[in-house]
Amino acid sequence: MKTCLAFLAVWLVCSVCLPARGQSVAVIKLAQLGPLLNKTDDTLRVVNFWATWCAPCVKELPQFEAVRQKYADRKLSVLLVNLDEPDALETKVKPFVKKRNLRSRVVLLDEPDQNAWIEKIAPEWSGALPMTLVVNRAKNIRKFIGKAVKEGELETIINAYKPQ
């Protein structure tokens, strides 16, 4: 089953013939993340908070890649907010993104005082990883998922909001 999925993943990537460009991982501050979450355009944003050391996060990442591809022709974007330590950017995060061939936008949030920012991102969030937000400020859409997403759960949520 796993091998099957791996083949499928390879096939999917090859079939769309993406240029082998290196995915960059920008290091950002909360002040830059806030505007990304609160854009008032008509794009539905799926924002996942993860870390390379978080096993359930790593396991669910393919689901985010899958919805990004499935809804590529809709107004939907996927943002993967990495919460590894900033000094793991070159040693862990970038190699991980390359190895997994992640095509979604990945940023590393560099904000050491976690107590100061976790609540600002989501008041109902304790800080447990993984965490996912599905948001669109203009349409007043905000769905908080405080644990790993189940198979198919993302699509159900996305479909409910009918991205154009």
The single-letter DSSP state of residue 102 is -
Q: How many residues contact other proteins, by CB under 8 A?
A: 24
Among 23, 39, 43, 85, which residue sits at the site for other proteins (rule: CB under 8 A)? 85
**Amino acid, res. 135:** V
Among 10, 16, 26, 128, which residue sits at the site for other proteins (rule: CB under 8 A)? 128
Rounded to an integer, what distance in angstroms lies between the CA atom of residue 59 and that of residue 61? 6
Sheet of strand 44-50, all strands in order from the earlier edge strand to the far edge: 25-28, 105-109, 76-82, 44-50, 131-136, 141-145
* Part in contact with other proteins (CB under 8 A); list of ranges 10-18, 37-45, 46-54, 91-99: 46-54
Shortest Å, Cβ 158 to other proteins: 21
Shortest Å, Cβ 61 to other proteins: 15
Residues 6+ apart with CB under 8 A from 22: 98
Which residues of this chain interact with other proteins, rule CB under 8 A? 51, 53-54, 56, 83, 85, 112-115, 118-119, 123-130, 144, 146-148
